[in-house]
Amino acid sequence: MSKIFQIKETILMGPGPSSVSPNVYKALSSYTVGHLDPRFIAIMDEIKEMLKKVFKTNNDFCLPVSGTGSAAMESCFVNMVSQDDRVLILQNGYFSCRMEDMCSRLGADITLLKSEWGTTIDVNQVIKHLKDNTYDVVAMVHAETSTGVRNDVEKISKCIDDNTIFIVDAVTSLGTINVDVDQWRIDAIYSCSQKGLSCPPGASPICFSQKALNKMKEREYQLPNWYLDMNEIIKYWDGKQRVYHHTAPINMMYALYQGLKDLLEEGLEDVLDRHQNVHQLLVEGLEDLGLKFIVDKQYRLPSLNAVTIPDGIDDMTVRSRLLNDYDIEIGGGLGKFSGKVWRIGLMGHSARKENIQKLLTAFKEIL
Amino acid sequence: MSKIFQIKETILMGPGPSSVSPNVYKALSSYTVGHLDPRFIAIMDEIKEMLKKVFKTNNDFCLPVSGTGSAAMESCFVNMVSQDDRVLILQNGYFSCRMEDMCSRLGADITLLKSEWGTTIDVNQVIKHLKDNTYDVVAMVHAETSTGVRNDVEKISKCIDDNTIFIVDAVTSLGTINVDVDQWRIDAIYSCSQKGLSCPPGASPICFSQKALNKMKEREYQLPNWYLDMNEIIKYWDGKQRVYHHTAPINMMYALYQGLKDLLEEGLEDVLDRHQNVHQLLVEGLEDLGLKFIVDKQYRLPSLNAVTIPDGIDDMTVRSRLLNDYDIEIGGGLGKFSGKVWRIGLMGHSARKENIQKLLTAFKEIL
């Protein structure tokens, strides 16, 4: 019999994946069943109901895409953005640049409103711009994983036209800060499993409003994407007769089921408070060490803490020591922040006091 | 603490997913690490090397797509088929119809050569057709999961032009019957994890030839698909500097690593023999029960056994009893075979004598 794969436990405090809870590991390795097994259909239904609670929505269209967060992201754009659609992207980090990339592949007519990386989206600029311009789609990132900035989805949502589809990236926000799909009138939102939901990557929640579903149903062209065509996938996830589209990642769905169940049992608001509390501890500890946050206090995410790498300190040396000597992963900078910042994630099962203490102790010894 | 998800073990003898081996379950629930962790990069490298052995190829481009088999399928088509490309699809089942669907979304100029469902592709017809016609792409399914037919990839490969990209679906063949990428000069091939490789669904191998890579590199337009753009993904899977594209489904990769490791330890040829041997047992048992195979002996897949549902027998009654009273799943018919055939899968960890005995005993009692 061949050797069984093993890997040492690491505290995942990077930009994701975050640490997986013991419960989720157990669920993940439960016996695989068929994708049309009535027991699995029941799990799918429960996942949908739990997602509605976590997204704070009455939208019935809530389901996990069979891929990682970027597949969920693409499923929103490819189903919502048609060729020549006028799309406004509010851009202040790596992931809103990815929005531009995806929309460009779809032949959209793109307008960018940029704010500096590390700052929040300038709401007044957006309000002013939307007074004079209309769009088919407006897209923004709620919690920018590359910079640790919280963008004000709530305020911006108030100036989105009734005829405009509002797409929001909640990859790093779902389960870590307040996300309110119905209050904020979000039409298409996507997240992932490996951050606030304490699961491994591989099954990624999306939620569409009725307006989004209408746009999808009225589509008169073939989507250039088969795997993420939600007009087809809905026939598997909804209704009495479940029509096979593709084989779902069964065990990843078990994991997601457990992650959602645990989150709701702890209580969504309590989970968000926990993130805020451990973030405070981290802020105090890092500031004691002289590390500087790149984001203004009022726009900092609890879930993603970006600090400037001090002068004379080598990025990779520190991160390798953390990983090899302390079994802790933190993230480096992405895009234009590469080599300049560290990104410390506090998400889901990683967002616990004991992890903050371990990281601060390690930092003290290394720096 | 919330209740941990549990599900009863089921012997999976449908068209897939197939049963997962105990080793793989253990690997699957190993500790999650980061997608840029050097230990994970090493696992990726080992997976690539093992895939080369299983695909029987020297092609360096072998990697698992971050999704289920259909994502791997689409990654082949979307990277190989450009708008207006002349594409020949050899069609004799559900999954070659899906090829047509995907190519149609990409704006290809499609020609179909059809053979009846349940029969093998008419090789002479193909040879004759390809004497008078040239194509940018020829696509076919090796092992048709909807009918249990083996198509003769080897013979057809011999009449594929040097300028033509040859795409083969090996979803149900990889690890169950001989697949020889280099001998058969296949340019793009895709499979899945949940059949011959004894893993859950969620990480799906593909392999591209140099000719395929050249076509990809010479592309002068933006792919309408971000998640499956192999020109980008290769930067994460290859080379010294691993560039983040999307977060890989870490734990699914552990599973795939273990599934491949176990398969190669048993020995690829021994594994194929095992499939053939248990298939023989199943054939004898089912024929004793008076059940009739729909495929001629010489084109039958060992991995997917399609039999006609006897007159007067209700499909769902039998399958529900198998599932509820015997913990065995078999598959119903797909597409035009719906309600008319049962599909009995013998793949990977499911392809064991004890499972045949259990199924035959159950059938005897029910029928």
pLDDT 10s digits, A13-41: 999 999 999 999 999 999 999 999 999 99
Give every CB contact of residue A303 below 8 A, 6+ residues apart in sequence.
Answer: A143, A172, A173, A176, A177, A195, A196, A275, A279, A345, A346, A347, A351
Could you say which of B34, B223, B227 has the minimum Cβ distance to residue A17? B34
Per-residue pLDDT at A335: 87
Tell me which of A97, A219, A247, A347 to substitute to probe the interface with B (most B C-beta atoms closer than 10 Å): A247
List of chain A residues whose C-beta atoms are within 8 Å of the C-beta of residue B257: 5
Token couple for A290: 């002289």
User: CA-nearest residue of chain A to B15?
Assistant: A34
User: CA-nearest residue of chain B to A198?
Assistant: B32
Q: Find out whether the peptide bond into B249 is cis, omega within 30 degrees of 0.
A: no
Which residue type sits at B239? G
What's the DSSP call for residue A228? T
Per-residue pLDDT at B165: 98
Q: Crossing angle, helix A38-55 and helix A250-266, to 10 degrees?
A: 40
Token couple for A333: 């900078």
Give every CB contact of residue A365 below 8 A, 6+ residues apart in sequence.
Answer: none
**Cβ of A254 and B67 within 8 Å?**
no
Tell me which of A226, A257, A319, A337 to substitute to probe the interface with B (most B C-beta atoms closer than 10 Å): A226
List of chain A residues whose C-beta atoms are within 8 Å of the C-beta of residue B334: 244
Q: How many contacts, defined by CB atoms under 8 Å, are there between A and B? A: 234
Per-residue pLDDT at B239: 86
Per-residue pLDDT at B337: 92
**Residue B207 in contact with residue B55, Cβ under 8 Å?**
yes
Q: Which stretches of chain B score pLDDT less than 50?
A: none
Average pLDDT by stretches of 10, chain A with 367 residues: 85 97 97 96 97 98 98 98 98 97 98 98 97 98 97 98 97 98 98 98 98 97 97 94 94 98 98 98 97 97 98 96 98 92 98 98 96
Per-residue pLDDT at A1: 56
**Cβ of A202 and B244 within 8 Å?**
no
Q: 3-state DSSP call for residue A307?
A: strand
Per-residue pLDDT at B336: 87
List of chain B residues whose C-beta atoms are within 8 Å of the C-beta of residue A98: 226
Which residue ranges form the domains of chain B, and what is each CATH number? 22-264 (3.40.640.10), 267-366 (3.90.1150.10)
**Residue A142 in contact with residue A170, Cβ under 8 Å?**
yes
**Residue B196 in contact with residue B205, Cβ under 8 Å?**
no
**Residue B34 in contact with residue A14, Cβ under 8 Å?**
yes
**Residue B135 in contact with residue B87, Cβ under 8 Å?**
yes
List of chain A residues whose C-beta atoms are within 8 Å of the C-beta of residue B79: none
User: CA-nearest residue of chain B to A72?
Assistant: B227
- CA dist., res. B91 & res. B97, Å (int): 7
Per-residue pLDDT at A336: 87
Per-residue pLDDT at A264: 98
Q: Is the dihedral of CA A170, A175, A177, A179 positive or negative?
A: positive
Per-residue pLDDT at B88: 98
Per-residue pLDDT at B335: 87
Note the pLDDT tens digit of each residue in B177-205: 999 999 999 999 999 999 999 999 999 99
Give every CB contact of residue B226 below 8 A, 6+ residues apart in sequence.
Answer: A70, A74, A98, A101, A102, A105, B232
Angle at B205 between CA B343 and CA B334, to 5 degrees: 20
List of chain B residues whose C-beta atoms are within 8 Å of the C-beta of residue A345: none
Token couple for B249: 């489904």
List of chain B residues whose C-beta atoms are within 8 Å of the C-beta of residue A202: 66, 202, 249-252
Does the reported pTM lie above 0.90? yes
Tell me which of A25, A29, A220 to substitute to probe the interface with B (most B C-beta atoms closer than 10 Å): A29
**Residue A339 in contact with residue A333, Cβ under 8 Å?**
yes
- CA dist., res. A329 & res. A321, Å (int): 10
Strand partners, A300: A149
Ramachandran region of residue A311, left (φ > 0), alpha (ψ -120 to 50) or beta?
beta
Q: Find out whether the peptide bond into B200 is cis, omega within 30 degrees of 0.
A: no
List of chain A residues whose C-beta atoms are within 8 Å of the C-beta of residue B28: 28-29, 251
- CA dist., res. B364 & res. B286, Å (int): 9
